[in-house]
Structure 1
């Protein structure tokens, strides 16, 4: 393999054309949620397939019941080299409200931010067109320098990530054998700060439930029935209040089964990071963490499960006042999961708990609102160690291992459907305004992101064959 510095030099030489490619892709308004942009979504897919074919990939646009997928394959330098599946999405969020943009969202440009940073502006620059192109451009530089690739690569780009990915799971199921690889790589996360790259080693899973408590056959006059008739709002409030104890822990039986303690060395890094970000709560007008007592903010966000009430309704909520006892009350509740928590067992435990708290004359209805397990890349994974070392060579500060408080369902599908771990490395920043007006991507994030993937791919291209990483 050619010395990595030669490949990085190719990245640098290619950078003007890499920018031109990003600009061309961003100019395509591939808004997946709006049917009016259906043709633009297909145009973006065709653009990517054509571009990949231009430097040796077997690339095709695959139809689905929604927007098309892009699938591309390239052999590695040897039959037994590792096989990587890279995932990204070419669709973008709507740009409304348009009047809040300081520039045309689909006419990208390099501008100077207020702090002096060079930025690339436009919808999709950070989420996810710029991010997926960091990987593509790294592969192009490898191919142009060496004539081949150190790993076997499959790329999968979808066009519905911003609208719920309705076609993705059926597509994975139908193409399971074609898409299965040794591990997946995803570039849809971010850095800790502009100088510090990050690998997201965990994502919380999710269980959603809508519950409705019903009692009387109709709303009742509180003067005629108050103190006598069961009040669903009282019952619901009591049930929800009992989800946590005085320490902030969730009370559901078996809730913490499969939840491991975070390694001490990882917690020490997180504690140091937290001290450098002391404004996390004050920025939103708060001061004290409300979760489990004795846990740091980052540990609560990245490594602990939650039970949250997302909405409640019942009775009269309009203007003025109405003395009524509601016939029913509803709440939406979500659980963020970590480690090996079983989504189905959490759902069953919650429903059993609710039923155990129902008084006479009350009944309950449940509606499931999705479920996905947590994702955890082992902290001692060789893959994680190699990627961390590679990133640390490229950026001013050493790479850190973080967690994700949210969920990325595709990563769970890679694990459950294809049996693959995922390496989540991204180069976006908190101020990139993804999903908001004036989305941007820092110019160094794009450039050094490409260089970073070159280093990572070189690091994982062991001579010991698939699975050795």
Structure 2
């Protein structure tokens, strides 16, 4: 029996099982759902066992459980580690869901539920692909391991120490993660880079109280004026970050990656029109997809201070604040970047103002060479099922645990996603296109049989 026939014959059962899992509200961020998170972990434990996996263990942590399993009966063959997460985002605003988020519903070829695409639906594909091979062939063509967590949506606090403590147990030749998207329907992609992150908050103070602009205007420093002047020094007129040393560790784009970016055929004018803009913006010499996927940024996320109520209040504010985040690439070190930004800010504080800086998040970028054999095999596996080879991309977002896996286990990571960009992950009416459910199963089987 072909695998396509096998999956078609078992499709209804597989979807019913997935619906059962999706009906468990495993919201890791809300303490009221701790029991549900544990229930979702137990559900997965049983499915891994029934699929034929061995040594299935639920590891308790200071947060939510981590589940491991393996099937190691292919001596001399590669070992593949599958990572995913069973926790989901909160569902608010509830009134914007067409059907209840934990009552899975199939409409027009799409499965709607919280966690459908992020990440229960995509993770489920790996469990069923392994189960199918074991049922059809009674053995696997590779050695397989699973490491599944329940805290991805709340920054994976328990996973890095778990990886450090279990390096030998989790040793692998490659790590496979399905928690990303195709570029568009029928156009698969493999991300070769995720940007890192660092953040900070700044506070400018001038006088010890707000002052009347009639009495003091023109004679004392204004905190809002000062912060606007300070923030304006962070970029030059060409869209580059003006902090000295900011671009240290940023690699130049290879000709191969520029070709891969060009193959995306991004219509910048269409995007400009869609967003209601007159023009796009960014560092000169790079396209939109290159700027947002492969170049570092420094962005103002919030600037506030002074009177913000209705009407007018003639006041000179004594304080102003700003929130800043940087997306990082290559070998940029988050703490080093924060330190350089602090030096820049402190050297540009306007006269009459004092500055306070508070560090925030820090995460390193993830990068992998697209010529790595395992990525090439994955691209071919997509081609065998989708009829078109996966493009190699770089994503602008940050998934810190990917870099952690790569560094701690010393293995290449293949971002082998089956979602679509418009599937409303983290938003109401999250869904998973069942065309990619079907093709995802076949693609994973093909990858495991050829890697």
Superposition TM-score tier, normalisation by shorter sequence: over 0.9
Contact 2:186 2:386 in 1 (8 A): yes
Other-structure match for 2:10: 14
Decide whether aligned partners of structure 1 residues 421 and 398 sit closer, same or farther in structure 2, where only a CA change above 3 A counts.
closer
Matched, 1:93 2:84: no
Cα distance between partner residues in 2 of 1:223 and 1:173: 62
Residue 45 (structure 1) shift: 0.2
Matched, 1:68 2:59: no
Other-structure match for 1:30: 26
**1:369 pairs with 360, 363, 367, which one?**
360
Cα distance between partner residues in 2 of 1:137 and 1:265: 35
SS at match of 1:394: helix
1:262-411 → structure 2 map (5 Å cutoff): 262-275=253-266, 279-411=270-402
Matched, 1:110 2:106: yes
SS at match of 2:265: helix
TM-score by length of 1: 0.91
Q: Deviations over 1:280-334 (max 9, x none)?
A: 2322212422111232111111111111000011222222222222222111111
Decide whether aligned partners of structure 1 residues 144 and 278 sit closer, same or farther in structure 2, where only a CA change above 3 A counts.
farther
Residue 6 (structure 1) shift: 4.3
Cα distance between partner residues in 2 of 1:96 and 1:194: 28
Matched, 1:141 2:132: yes
Decide whether aligned partners of structure 1 residues 298 and 173 sit closer, same or farther in structure 2, where only a CA change above 3 A counts.
same
Decide whether aligned partners of structure 1 residues 58 and 281 sit closer, same or farther in structure 2, where only a CA change above 3 A counts.
farther
Residue 367 (structure 1) shift: 1.2
Other-structure match for 2:182: 191
**2:40 pairs with 38, 41, 44, which one?**
44
Residue 277 (structure 1) shift: 7.1
Q: Structure 1 stretch 272-281 or stretch 68-77: which is displaced more?
A: 272-281
Residue 385 (structure 1) shift: 1.3
Cα distance between partner residues in 2 of 1:25 and 1:455: 25
Residue 203 (structure 1) shift: 0.5
Cα distance between partner residues in 1 of 2:363 and 2:171: 20
Decide whether aligned partners of structure 1 residues 420 and 92 sit closer, same or farther in structure 2, where only a CA change above 3 A counts.
same
Q: Deviations over 1:25-78 (max 9, x none)?
A: 112121222222211111110011111112132112211222212111221411
Residue 9 (structure 1) shift: 4.5
Contact 1:242 1:251 in 2 (8 A): yes
Cα distance between partner residues in 2 of 1:77 and 1:10: 23
1:455-466 → structure 2 map (5 Å cutoff): 455-460=446-451
Matched, 1:57 2:54: yes
Structure 1 runs of 4+ with >6 Å offset: none
Decide whether aligned partners of structure 1 residues 435 and 275 sit closer, same or farther in structure 2, where only a CA change above 3 A counts.
closer
Where does structure 1 lack aligned partners over 5 or more consecutive residues?
113-117, 461-469
Where does structure 2 lack aligned partners over 5 or more consecutive residues?
none
Q: Structure 1 stretch 84-93 or stretch 128-137: which is displaced more?
A: 84-93
Contact 1:210 1:331 in 2 (8 A): yes
Cα distance between partner residues in 1 of 2:91 and 2:350: 49
Contact 1:205 1:374 in 2 (8 A): yes
Q: Structure 1 stretch 246-255 or stretch 411-420: which is displaced more?
A: 411-420
Other-structure match for 2:439: 448
Contact 1:386 1:459 in 2 (8 A): yes
Cα distance between partner residues in 2 of 1:363 and 1:450: 58
Q: Structure 1 stretch 194-203 or stretch 143-152: which is displaced more?
A: 143-152
Cα distance between partner residues in 1 of 2:428 and 2:311: 37
